Amino acid sequence: MIKNVKFLFYFLLLNILCFGCKKKEATQISFYYWNTIFNIDKTEQNYLDTLKVKEVYVRFFDIIKENGRIKPNAQIDFGKKTFSPVIIPVVFIENAVFKNISETELNGLIKHLAKEVQFIYTKTQKGLPKEIQFDCDWTKTTAKAYFNFLEKFKANQPNILLSATIRLHQIKYFEQTGVPKIDKGVLMYYSTGNPLDFSDKNAILDNEIAKNYIKNIGNYPIKLDIALPIFSWAIVKNEFDETRLISGVKSIDLKDTVFFKPLEKHFFLVKKSNYLNGLYLYQGQRIKLETIEPADLMIAVKNIKKYYPNKVDKIIFYNLDGINFDNISTTDLVQISNSI
């Protein structure tokens, strides 16, 4: 009898230990897509399949202000392509759009924008989008108008989940910068500096700088997904101290010693004039390369985990482009998302 009770006890204990803890739901992986011509190549598709990506955040168009007129710009061209992950439309809006915007302009913008999103969406997807995301680096003077826009848009489209990007400074100083009334935010955990400073700091993501912006993230009143960078770029400086940004430059692009000479860490000299990603570089100009390594992102998620008490449902990597995958494998991305 005692033997049976003992057996039962240990059996129950074993079950509790094995099954008592609730299995943690994995953080979803997603991507931003920011090209104007929609074209997913084999590498990109492979990443989507391997990582079981369900949703891709696709920039549909920008809203800009030109000669006093608010208008869309650079609408995406889907062509005749079909696409299986769900597309979530993203619209970037210049901060200037909301400066002194009138009620009429705001209402007109909401009306046109909704129709434009729907028009483009139906080129590749059926029905209505389940989520729409806005990307705007609002300031103190435009906060009221932008937040008003978001509220009115939501009222206009109540069944669509409304999300918006939140930048690091809008977390740290949220009491001053305000918090939009949205269903969900995406923290852009990058752009920690000005690349044109041409300093030795990595303007894409400097973890020491970034972590200082999220110490109070626990107080942020809305749920956040996290956006992390996987892109790289180069900054070129000429004799007049002018600088230019060249997106998509990787270290392999600067390996040819006929054209480039490595100087100190991340800095190169143009040895022979040549085109680099569309910009003509002249002999003698200096280049600074900024990249993101998987290790940088591991530190980033470690810091986020330290300060953000809530579960992160989704990491959205910026951005889905084959050139960004030379440096970071699917294994790396899984490891990063599992670490948050």
Partner 1 sequence: MRKIIFCFVIFIILTGKLMACSWYDPDEEYYNLFDQHLLADKSLTPFLLTYGSQYYGQSYYGDKEVEEIDYNIKEWSNFFDKKIVDADLNYLVYESSNSELSKILATNSFSKAPSELQHAEFLIGKGRESLEYLIFAKKCEQWAILGQNDDWSYNRKKMDKPTFMATAKIGNLLFDKTKDKDLKVRIAYQLVRLSHYAGFNDDAVRYFNTYMEPIGLKNLIYFYALEQKGGALFNQNKFAEAAYTFVKVFENTPDRKISCYNSFRISSDLHFSDALKLCKTNDEKASLYAMRGYQNFSNALKEMENIYAIAPNSNKMELLAIRDINKAERELMELGVNYGEDPKFLIFSPPLKAYMKKMILFSEKVISEKKVKRLDFWNTYLAHLYFLNQQYEQSQNACKSIVTEDKAIKEQAKRTEFSAYLANLKFISSAEESLIFNHFMNKITEDEQQFMYELLGHKYLEQKDYAKAFLCHNEVNSLYPNHDLKIIEALFDFVEKPSKNKLEAKLLGDKLGDEKHALNVLNDLKGTYFLFTEDFIDALIYFRKVPSNFKILDNYTRYNYNTGVDEVIEGFDGFGKISGRIFSAAVRSYFEDTEENALTDLTYKEPQFSFIKEKMNKLQLVETIIKLQELSIQKGEIGAKANYLLANYFFNTTNAGYYRNIPYYEPGNYNIYTYYNISPEPLKEIEKLYNFNGFGYRVTPKYGFETPFKLYILAEELSTNQEFKAKSVFMAAKCEVELFFLKEEDTPYELSYWGKPSKLYSDFNRPMFAKLYSNYSKTKFITEVKTNCSYYRYYLAAKK
Interface with partner 1 includes 146 (CB under 8 A)?
Answer: no
- Report the distance separating Cα 184 and Cα 298, nearest Å: 24
Total binding residues for partner 1 by CB under 8 A?
52
Q: Which of 55, 116, 206, 326 is in the footprint of partner 1 by CB under 8 A?
A: 116
Nearer to partner 1 among residue 124 and residue 238 (C-beta): 238
Which secondary structure element, helix H or strand E, spans residue 209, and what is its range? helix 207-211
Tell me how far apart the alpha carbons of residues 233 and 246 are, in angstroms, rounded to a whole number: 6
* Per CB under 8 A, 328 contacts partner 1: no
Return the residues of window 53-112 that contact partner 1 according to CB under 8 A: 62, 69, 71-72, 75, 90, 92, 94, 112
Among 39, 176, 219, 257, binds partner 1 (CB under 8 A): 176
What's the rounded Cα separation, in Å, for the pair 290 and 270? Answer: 16
CB of 186 to partner 1, least distance (A): 8
Nearer to partner 1 among residue 49 and residue 293 (C-beta) = 293
Which two structure tokens, joined as six digits, stand for 271? Answer: 């040895």
313: left (phi over 0), alpha (psi -120 to 50) or beta: alpha
Q: Which stretch binds partner 1 (CB under 8 A): 148-156, 281-289, 306-314, 331-339?
A: 281-289
Q: Which residues contact 241 (CB under 8 A, 6 or more apart)?
A: none
**Tokens linked to 184:** 């969900």
Does 7 interact with partner 1 (rule: CB under 8 A)?
A: no
Could you tell me which of 128, 126, 93 has the C-alpha nearest to residue 110? 93
Applying CB under 8 A, which of residues 25, 155, 240, 258 lies at the interface with partner 1?
A: 240
Tokens of 270: 């143009």
SS percent in the chain: helix, strand, coil, step 5: 35, 25, 40
- Judged by CB under 8 A, the residue of 21, 22, 280, 309 near partner 1 is 280
Contacting partner 1 (CB under 8 A), which of 125, 163, 165, 202?
A: 165
Q: Smallest distance from the beta carbon of 244 to partner 1, in angstroms?
A: 5
